[in-house]
Structure 1
């Protein structure tokens, strides 16, 4: 069983990125995949003074990342970058020095926005951060999903075939990316 963690870059209750992330597991063609949402909203602000003795919530966050075979990050774009809360969570995961949780961990990224440009700038910043963490990041398909509320039913299900094709293409490529890197890690 391949275990994939999903990180949503927003902690907003009405996050459109969370709504999009929620439908991804249902679009996977492979039955041998298990998804879990990795939550970080309880993390305090990162401070290197904690490196000698991480708080329990930060140790649990790092362990949750380490316990999965790969990660999908679905993030909004705030001010042409990733949200501060996501950067904070990534900083906790990368520390203390030499004990980063993303090293060698395959990652796929995407984001949803109501605008046509999607989350292109945020994704480029995220790629730079993940590159520094030595996390093999999926290059294609780049997915800048334009969110439309009428694509989703009142129960959160995806109702639009074209949107399902875009999101299904992304999540199935992400699964293949994680599995490819898992095979390399085992070999």
Structure 2
């Protein structure tokens, strides 16, 4: 099984990178992982669609070739970070082959606010549904920084680990269900 991963935070060592790695570690043995690099992805611009930038083409190819897509993103000002929304917008464009169409997707995130990443996730789900992605709706991974979710060494707590295990198990069922229909 091949899973593409988008981390909607550009900061090195961000909590969302830590969470993404913790989720990837729980994928079944032998799974392939493609990490999309978002740092050089330009903003969507129809002027660029005649010759889609190579970095965008690569990201679209990674998603197209994956069995599922995992999006791990913070929440900024009660919304979707621009980098997360921008890659989703690119992946929905006809010029990239629309690789989100029919793709099983799971969303997770960690933020510093008391609402965690619930607003971001509630905004991103309908955006992804509009692109015809198949979004996992439950369980939900929305964590708050500082709620004993992370260990001092940057790992996840035992309680969080159990939630992540259940989440990845549900995502794998979701991906397999999609794969069986194709």
TM-score relative to the length of structure 2: 0.91
- Structure 1, residues 46-95: CA drift from partner, whole Å, max 9, x if none? 10112222121111111111111100111110111110111111111111
State how many pairs are aligned: 181
Assess if the C-alpha contact under 8 Å between 1:4 and 1:33 holds in 2.
yes
Say whether 1:180 aligns with 2:182.
no
Alpha-carbon separation, structure 1, partners of 2:24 and 2:94:
32
Q: Secondary structure at the match of 1:51?
A: helix
Counterpart for residue 55 of structure 1: 53
Assess if the C-alpha contact under 8 Å between 1:27 and 1:164 holds in 2.
no
Counterpart for residue 12 of structure 1: 11
- What are the ranges of 5 or more consecutive residues in structure 1 without an aligned counterpart? none
Q: Secondary structure at the match of 1:72?
A: strand
Q: Secondary structure at the match of 2:100?
A: coil
User: Shift of residue 5 of structure 1?
Assistant: 1.1
Counterpart for residue 74 of structure 1: 72
User: Shift of residue 44 of structure 1?
Assistant: 1.3
Alpha-carbon separation, structure 2, partners of 1:87 and 1:133:
12
Q: Secondary structure at the match of 1:22?
A: helix
Assess if the C-alpha contact under 8 Å between 2:71 and 2:105 holds in 1.
yes
- What are the ranges of 5 or more consecutive residues in structure 2 without an aligned counterpart? none
Counterpart for residue 83 of structure 2: 85
Q: Secondary structure at the match of 2:80?
A: coil
User: Shift of residue 96 of structure 1?
Assistant: 2.9
